[in-house]
Structure 1
Amino acid sequence: MAIGVFDSGIGGITVVKEIRKQLPDEKIIYFGDTKRVPYGGKDKEELINLSEQIVAFLIREGADVIIDACNTTSALALPYLQEKHTVPIVGVLVPGADSASKVTKGKVGVMGTEATIKSGCYDVAIKAQEKSTEVVSIHCPKLVGFIEDGDLNSSYLKRVLRDYLNPLFLANCDTLVLGCTHYPFLSDTIYELIGDSMTLINPAVAAVNELKAYESSREGEDICYISGDYHSFYSALTALYPDHGFEKIVTYDPIEE
């Protein structure tokens, strides 16, 4: 089976890592739209247009199943993509919300991009499981930039994170959803700041688990496509995930604007 994975930049690599843990025998075709990162400030129409062209590209490249590794497009474009295509497309949002609902004692914090938080998608998905659950959502506009630059533990990053986390501490949240696939790269630093006060949820874990229904035998090499600068991506990739396992990393932009 060939699994297509896409995201706005390097964040979806956290999903690739999870695929390698749970489904090590499957081929991966990754597309990172590094030319247009971040997606968090884009409107719904643009996100649907970008996602549709990326999905079409992954299907042409042989993807048997696709995981939308971007919370923003999972929130705003996924229903359209699932309706249009016969190839199964799995998002990260609902699996993440379901995972949070299973462990929370009643107060869930969500960190995400502007578009994800404004959509209210996690609030709706979590409350669909239990109406009484309180959801505190925090827009974290600076985090993707830190991660794309390979900064996971600087003193400045920690100050920014403390500011973002403070409303969640004040609300006594017991569970924290990483509502952007970039954010798991910061898990160690976030754990350092929250201690055992909150259970950390990485939606990729549950999302990849859903792919097991399509599991088959591996054929071909893992390949990574990016739309932007090769050198900056490769530098960040090797810093964040040295054992990335891609046989090829290719700069190619399938998107017409």
Structure 2
Amino acid sequence: MQNQPIGIFDSGVGGTTIWKEITSLLPHEDTIFLADSKYAPYGKRSKEEITALSIKNTEKLLELNCKIIVVACNTATTNAIKTLRSKYDIPIIGIEPAIKPAAIYTKTKKVGILATKGTLSSELFVKTSDLYTQNIEVIEVVGTGLVELIEKGKINTDEMHTLLHSYITPMLDKNIDHLVLGCTHYPYLIPLLKKMLSDQITIIDSGEAVARQTKAVLIANHLLNSDSEIGKHTLYTNGNVDILKNILHKNTVTYTVKALDF
């Protein structure tokens, strides 16, 4: 199984932010990525719908002989990870908003979290937040519409700037010093966010931590690829192939993008 690929899925193109971190840290691993853009965004769906979609994606990655599954979606993790882990006997890595480091390092004791409704309302998120944010004010904002614009390739647009600014302003008014990005799509907004935020505000996402955890789990399960060749990467989308290609155009690893109905 060591030579089999790492399987990664997201509700759309956003999980490529996780895919990039994994391919950077584990250059000899093959990867298969599923962008489930047909059903994006997951954040407005019910727990039952999110779980069914997560099972669908996992089944497809298993069909493609993946040795480990990375759920590169905050909403899918917080709503479906427990079901996936009980249903399948291969390692499954999840992702959730990086509340802990923000809570540890905040000086103003005010932290902003930008996420989808599906993540913020989930049982796992509430438990994690309660665990780490005692004596800290957390300003939670649902980023309605952000994923849809990213999925349409409309990142550097006036529409995106106006919408994002409306979500960030309440956090700035509360004097946050850390902004947690609770959706894997949102790191693509960091260049825009840096123009809106002062240098005193730290932006946190979970990409590097997920890559490190993936490596640790591969080692623990004796699944790390010992091959010295550079990994091969295939990314599938059931949405617009050109949007996935465009969002990856500055990536340095060699990859193939294909359309797939799943």
**Common fold: TM-score over 0.5:** yes
User: In the aligned structure 2, how far is the partner of 1:22 from the partner of 1:52?
Assistant: 27
Among 97, 100, 104, the alignment partner of 1:98 is 100
Percent of paired sites with the same residue: 33
**Deviation for aligned residue 1:182:** 0.5
User: In the aligned structure 2, how far is the partner of 1:47 from the partner of 1:136?
Assistant: 25
**Deviation for aligned residue 1:21:** 2.1
Among 194, 199, 202, the alignment partner of 2:202 is 199
Measured at CA, do residues 129 and 143 of structure 1 come closer, stay the same or move farther in structure 2, by a change above 3 Å? Answer: same
**Deviation for aligned residue 1:70:** 1.0
Gaps of 5+ in 1: none
User: In the aligned structure 2, how far is the partner of 1:195 from the partner of 1:150?
Assistant: 26
**Deviation for aligned residue 1:251:** 2.4
Which residue identity is paired with 1:239? N
User: In the aligned structure 2, how far is the partner of 1:210 from the partner of 1:186?
Assistant: 24
RMSD over aligned CA atoms reads 2.0
**Corresponding residue number in structure 2 for 1:252:** 260
**Deviation for aligned residue 1:19:** 1.1
Which residue identity is paired with 2:243? A
Q: Where do 1:74-153 residues align within 5 Å?
A: 74-93=77-96, 96-105=98-107, 106-119=109-122, 121-153=124-156
- On the 8 A contact 1:107/1:135 being kept in 2, the answer is yes
- Does residue 172 (structure 1) correspond to residue 175 (structure 2)? The answer is yes
User: In the aligned structure 1, how far is the partner of 2:247 from the partner of 2:12?
Assistant: 13
Measured at CA, do residues 165 and 130 of structure 1 come closer, stay the same or move farther in structure 2, by a change above 3 Å? Answer: closer
**Deviation for aligned residue 1:243:** 4.4
**Deviation for aligned residue 1:249:** 2.6
Gaps of 5+ in 2: none
- On the 8 A contact 1:176/1:201 being kept in 2, the answer is yes
- Does residue 181 (structure 1) correspond to residue 184 (structure 2)? The answer is yes
Task: Give the SS at the match of 1:225.
Answer: strand
- On the 8 A contact 1:123/1:135 being kept in 2, the answer is no
User: In the aligned structure 1, how far is the partner of 2:69 from the partner of 2:254?
Assistant: 17
- On the 8 A contact 2:37/2:151 being kept in 1, the answer is no
TM-score normalised by the chain length of structure 2: 0.87
**Deviation for aligned residue 1:223:** 1.2
- Does residue 155 (structure 1) correspond to residue 158 (structure 2)? The answer is yes
User: In the aligned structure 2, how far is the partner of 1:179 from the partner of 1:7?
Assistant: 13
Which residue identity is paired with 2:87? K
Measured at CA, do residues 182 and 13 of structure 1 come closer, stay the same or move farther in structure 2, by a change above 3 Å? Answer: same
**Deviation for aligned residue 1:8:** 0.8
Measured at CA, do residues 79 and 200 of structure 1 come closer, stay the same or move farther in structure 2, by a change above 3 Å? Answer: same
User: In the aligned structure 1, how far is the partner of 2:245 from the partner of 2:261?
Assistant: 21
Number of residue-to-residue matches in the alignment: 249
- On the 8 A contact 2:245/2:257 being kept in 1, the answer is no
- Does residue 19 (structure 1) correspond to residue 19 (structure 2)? The answer is no
User: In the aligned structure 1, how far is the partner of 2:135 from the partner of 2:123?
Assistant: 16
Q: Where do 1:54-65 residues align within 5 Å?
A: 54-65=57-68
- On the 8 A contact 1:6/1:68 being kept in 2, the answer is yes
- On the 8 A contact 2:237/2:244 being kept in 1, the answer is no
Which residue identity is paired with 1:222? H
Greater alpha carbon shift after TM alignment, 4-13 vs 83-92:
83-92
**Corresponding residue number in structure 1 for 2:233:** 222
Among 221, 230, 236, the alignment partner of 2:243 is 236
